[in-house]
């Protein structure tokens, strides 16, 4: 076995490296650099190369806070591959889509290291894609959802090339968390992604999809920071990193737009997939319920304490008035100010504030996705992570990612000042169990527990013990059962800038 394996792709040979028992290839272009004539455009296949291209270093992230400005001159659209066996064929393939508020994120994050998953018997692929304005802003004269189109291009690359890395192009599972989960939910229903994957794993699905009118109002305000309009012609004159700065300038002001943009103005991002009737015809819940994507197996779930990392009031007193205002802004119209207190009689106002936010942002969108997929004739399975290694963060957003990839070290856990006494050993056991469940699902569609049914709502709960039980958040589900997640619309257009859509 050569230490530096070479593999053919449709654009040319690439050279990787064996790292222990896994062959790793980093920074392989799947599309051309989206600058110049390709900026704000659909991704274009990469140019080929002669000889063998080194694939030893992760490609640079798309422009975002913390990314060096020099990176705009290199290709952001790259994939990485981890394979346990280059000499075989037909291994299940798992394609990871990172999260990051549709605003940031990249595959060089050490917590997205695919080695442990690959060693369990699958080929793992991760991708960089356009984020922020470049990928998700409404720009007149440009296609919407460019970040999603990048993801589809990466999936096409997998279809065309993964057999050479030992993978089966007919047995692909796409999986993602947070904004990555929102991306996967969109891909489930997009005609352009049909046939490119067989299964999907959605971890902590955000409930935010935008109408084109809302997205246009947000983009108008971003462009206003630069003295421009949100058109492809005008924004071409500004560097990608200047658009990053303008986005974050708006982010700091977003709460002031709550009266015109609604509750999305209270979230930590100005971007979400755009329901435009072209690239994305509707929000995923309605499309799945109508039968779209019914042939794709779905695994979906959330952590118990989705809002713990974001909650500015965690451990602090929340007034009854503040709680009532939050319920009015976020909960279904049928939910009165006292309904959460009735559903959770022992909870404090501070705890209820966190629960309402967790329900709106991630928990109920995830449960509703399983229900919608079942209604449309698909097979879905539901999970919840209730384990945590410290009481400060609880079962927080993104903890499931660290478990599945197995990238939280013993020192990371034991050095935490409030770590539970057995946390390190519990993490190792739970991480192995979740990883094998994910691999089993990717292999044959059965992770080891019963499919979702409205009568039972069997859920695999990853706690100190792993159990299969009725959905644990039944109290919240009842409050949200008649709600329908749809694309968010502006409440008014008065302070949203020019929201006209051609």
Burial of 48 (0-12, 13-18, 19+ CB in 10 A): exposed
Closest CA to 300 of 394, 438, 158: 438
The vertex-234 CA angle with 228 and 238, nearest 5°, equals 85
Known active-site residue 368:
no
Residue whose tokens read 């508020």: 101
Pairwise CA distance, residues 1 & 138, whole Å: 49
Known active-site residue 241:
no
Known active-site residue 354:
no
The C-alpha torsion from 326 through 332 and 335 to 338, rounded to 10°, is -20
Strand locations in 16-101 (E): 17-19, 22-29, 52-54, 78-83, 91-97
Contact (Cβ atoms closer than 8 angstroms) between residue 98 and residue 107: yes
Choice among 397, 426, 443, 473 that is catalytic? 397
Choice among 212, 306, 367, 384 that is catalytic? 306
Closest CA to 487 of 204, 183, 207, 138: 207
Pairwise CA distance, residues 137 & 230, whole Å: 9
Paired with 13 in beta bridges are: 8, 52
Pairwise CA distance, residues 453 & 379, whole Å: 9
Choice among 83, 178, 183, 308 that is catalytic? 178
Residues recognised as catalytic: 178, 306, 397
């Amino acid at each position: 076995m050569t230490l530096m394996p070479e593999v053919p792709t449709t654009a040319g040979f690439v050279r990787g490296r064996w790292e222990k028992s896994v062959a790793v290839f980093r920074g392989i272009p799947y599309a051309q650099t989206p600058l110049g004539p390709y900026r704000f455009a659909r991704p274009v296949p990469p140019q080929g190369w002669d000889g063998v291209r080194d694939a030893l270093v992760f490609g640079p992230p798309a422009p975002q806070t913390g990314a060096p400005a020099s990176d705009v001159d290199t290709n952001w659209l790259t994939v990485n591959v981890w394979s346990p066996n280059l000499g075989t064929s037909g291994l299940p393939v798992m394609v990871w889509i990172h999260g990051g508020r549709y605003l940031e994120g990249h595959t060089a994050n050490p917590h997205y290291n695919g080695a442990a998953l690959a060693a369990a018997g699958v080929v793992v692929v991760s991708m960089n894609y356009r984020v922020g304005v470049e990928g998700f802003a409404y720009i007149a004269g440009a296609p919407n959802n460019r970040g999603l189109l990048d993801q589809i291009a990466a999936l096409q690359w997998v279809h065309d090339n993964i057999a050479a890395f030992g993978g089966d192009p007919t047995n692909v599972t796409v999986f993602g968390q947070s904004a990555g989960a929102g991306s996967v939910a969109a891909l489930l229903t997009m005609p352009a992604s049909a046939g490119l994957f067989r299964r999907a794993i959605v971890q902590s699905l955000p409930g935010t999809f935008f109408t084109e009118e809302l997205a246009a109002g947000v983009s108008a305000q971003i462009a206003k920071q630069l003295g421009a309009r949100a058109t492809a012609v005008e924004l071409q004159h500004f560097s990608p990193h200047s658009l990053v700065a303008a986005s974050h300038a708006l982010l700091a002001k977003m709460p002031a737009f709550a009266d015109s943009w609604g509750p999305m103005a209270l979230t930590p991002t100005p971007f979400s997939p755009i329901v435009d009737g072209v690239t994305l015809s509707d929000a995923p819940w309605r499309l799945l319920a109508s039968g779209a994507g019914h042939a794709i197996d779905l695994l979906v779930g959330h952590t118990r304490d989705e809002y713990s990392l974001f909650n500015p009031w965690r451990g602090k007193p929340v007034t009854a008035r503040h709680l009532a205002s939050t319920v009015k802004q976020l909960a279904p119209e049928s939910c009165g100010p006292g309904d959460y207190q009735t559903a959770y009689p022992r909870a404090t106002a501070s705890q209820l504030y966190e629960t309402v936010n967790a329900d709106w942002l991630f928990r109920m969108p995830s449960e509703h996705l399983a229900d919608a997929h079942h209604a449309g004739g698909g097979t879905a399975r539901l999970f919840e992570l209730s384990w945590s290694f410290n009481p400060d963060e609880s079962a927080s957003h993104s903890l499931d990612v660290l478990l599945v990839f197995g990238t939280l070290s013993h020192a990371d856990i034991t050095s935490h000042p409030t770590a539970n006494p057995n946390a390190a050993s519990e993490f190792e056991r739970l991480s192995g169990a979740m990883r094998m469940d994910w691999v089993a699902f990717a292999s044959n569609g059965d992770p080891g527990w019963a499919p979702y049914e409205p009568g039972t709502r069997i859920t695999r709960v990853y706690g100190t013990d792993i159990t299969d039980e009725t959905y644990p958040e039944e109290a919240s589900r009842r409050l949200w059962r008649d709600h329908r997640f749809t694309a968010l619309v502006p409440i008014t257009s008065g302070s949203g800038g020019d929201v006209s859509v051609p």
